[in-house]
Amino acid sequence: GQNIDQPTEMTATEGAIVQINCTYQTSGFNGLFWYQQHAGEAPTFLSYNVLDGLEEKGRFSSFLSRSKGYSYLLLKELQMKDSASYLCAVKNSNYQLIWGAGTKLIIKP
Amino acid sequence: GAVVSQHPSWVICKSGTSVKIECRSLDFQATTMFWYRQFPKQSLMLMATSNEGSKATYEQGVEKDKFLINHASLTLSTLTVTSAHPEDSSFYICSARDGDRESQPQHFGDGTRLSIL
């Protein structure tokens, strides 16, 4: 089968840094996406990785290791508005997007 | 750019009613659109892939006669939940990709919260 594993929930403090991990087992790999989803809203695109390494975009960075089937999303200088669920999704060899269950991030003052 | 509009945002109706949800790409043409369903605290579940000018591709376990999809133009796809029942209550979200490259992300509509009484 194909699956994406992410922690169910994480808690962090405003102003701090948090790393959300994602491991995947899929039939082939054609890219990994991170999305942010606030409660009751649709997901919004954050980042895309297809090659190994780190992609930085402002306060958010995403890392990929294809050999390990592993990615993480790094959020710096956390703000209260970053409280949301973060979804990891992998595109497999058939270009199907396989979604993780999401990590609920709670930011405390 | 890459805005997807979904309408309505919230529907409450009686059991047995059919409900139509529209998904529009406002500033780009979308050959392919996707329909998802999401139950509370669960991940997105792909229901079907909507292809302009042809029949939709449904995921395993999704009843195509229950969830009718029409992709009549490059900017509009509709999902009709026929004879809806309380178990169909869910958050329905559409998405579209701007361009044909697989690296392009999907852009989501705001979702439709469907409640069947």
Please report the pLDDT score of residue A66 as a whole number.
Answer: 97
Q: Of B59, B109, B99, B101, which is closest to residue A31 (Cα–Cα)?
A: B101
Whether the CB of A101 is below 8 Å from some CB of chain B: the reply is yes
Do B3 and B106 meet the contact criterion of CB atoms below 8 Å apart?
no
Task: List, for residues B98-116, the tens digit of each pLDDT value.
Answer: 776 767 788 899 999 999 9
CA distance B108 to chain A (A): 6
CA distance B63 to chain A (A): 19
CA distance B17 to chain A (A): 24
Please report the pLDDT score of residue B1 as a whole number.
Answer: 64
CA distance B101 to A30: 11
Q: Please, what is the end-to-end C-alpha distance for chain B in angstroms?
A: 37
Task: List, for residues B14-28, the tens digit of each pLDDT value.
Answer: 999 999 999 999 988
**Those residues with Cβ within 8 angstroms of residue B63's Cβ, 6 or more apart along the chain or in another chain:** none
To probe the interface with B, which of A9, A37, A62, A95 has the most B CB atoms within 10 Å?
Answer: A37
Which residues 72-111 in chain B show a CB within 8 A of chain A? Answer: 91, 93, 95, 102-103, 105-111
Tokens coding A64: 């990929």
Q: Which of the residues in chain A have pLDDT under 70?
A: none
CA distance B95 to chain A (A): 9
Determine if the peptide bond prior to A43 is cis (ω within 30°): no
Residue of A30, A48, A101 with shortest CB distance to B42: A101
CA distance B22 to A18: 37
Q: What is the mean pLDDT of residues B66-72?
A: 92
Task: List, for residues A85-94, the tens digit of each pLDDT value.
Answer: 999 999 998 8
CA distance B61 to B45: 11
CA distance B7 to B110: 8
Residues of A in contact with B108 (CB under 8 A): 42-44
Band the pLDDT of B7: cuts 50, 70, 90.
very high
Q: What is the mean pLDDT of residues B35-45?
A: 88
CA distance B115 to A90: 30
Q: What H or E segment, with its residue span, contains residue B58? A: strand B57-58
Q: What are phi and psi of B74, to 5 degrees?
A: -75, -5
The residue of chain A nearest to residue B42, with distances taken between CA atoms, is A101
